[in-house]
Amino acid sequence: MTAATKLEREGSPRPGIGNQYLPINFLRRHALELFLKSGIVIIHRKFKLPYGSLSNSGPPHALDGDKWVPFEPLHSVKCLWKHLASLFHENKAVFDSIGPKDLWRFLLRRTCGSRELNVVILEACFSGIQHRDRLSKTPKKAVMTSANEDEIAKRLETSSEGPKQFMLLMKDDNNNVIGGYCYERGPLTDFNRTLQECVNLFSGLHVAMRDELCGCG
């Protein structure tokens, strides 16, 4: 989180997807994942909740559907947030008795009801380039949009940004272009801001958990 902020402050005056956005977003997304995982561990250990049939003192897991998945291969922000939210919901009475009055209600209402927190968009943007058949099902503000070779060439000719743009061309075994994707600067800028606000929200929630549940304030 701190590294991402420092990198952003010291970054290029004209940031691009490779020289700034990707490393900053990678660091922020990783921070978000760690906040979620830490929150899950704190609750399971504080309330002595097992990970399914496994002890709460063993390797941490999160519930993905009906399956308990160990943390090491689990990187889904959506899955981790759903599990953490369920822990708050299932232990609401206990949380209501801890800390200042309405502390958790305020924090969770702000986090869950925040306009910035849209886990579906987070997942879509970080799941890599999607198949053309699925592209129409993604949010309208996609960072990469589908385009054929002629559309990409026209964009390079007419865009005010000039020819130095991030494009992805897909070729078959015979080196023929079969499709491509264009990088959309505007949606990515909006997404950067959204991700930063999400990290800030979960950072605050995590501080409250460490302070009130672990006594580490």
Tell me the pLDDT tens digit for each residue of 104-122: 876 766 555 544 444 433 4
Q: Considering the domain boundaries, does residue 137 fall inside one?
A: no
Q: Considering the domain boundaries, does residue 66 fall inside one?
A: yes
18 & 94 share domain: yes
Q: What average pLDDT does this structure show over 61-84?
A: 91
Tally of domains in the chain: 2
DSSP 8-state secondary structure symbol assigned to residue 54: B
Q: Considering the domain boundaries, does residue 138 fall inside one?
A: no
90 & 160 share domain: no
pLDDT at site 45 = 94
112 & 66 share domain: yes
Q: Which domain holds residue 156?
A: 144-183
pLDDT (tens digit, 9 = 90+) per residue, 178-214?
A: 878 776 666 566 667 777 888 888 888 888 899 989 8
18 & 69 share domain: yes
Most confident of 5-14, 91-100, 144-153, 156-165: 91-100
76-79 — which CB contacts under 8 Å span 24+ positions? 76/123, 77/29, 77/32, 77/33, 77/36, 77/119, 77/122, 77/123, 77/126, 78/119, 78/120, 78/122, 78/123
Q: Considering the domain boundaries, does residue 135 fall inside one?
A: no
Whole-angstrom distance, CA of residue 32 vs CA of residue 38? 10
109 & 8 share domain: yes
177 & 81 share domain: no
96 & 12 share domain: yes
Terminal Cα-to-Cα distance of the chain (whole angstroms): 19
Q: Considering the domain boundaries, does residue 70 fall inside one?
A: yes
Neighbouring C-beta atoms of residue 41, cutoff 10 Å: 16
119 & 170 share domain: no
To which H or E segment does residue 63 belong? Answer: strand 61-64
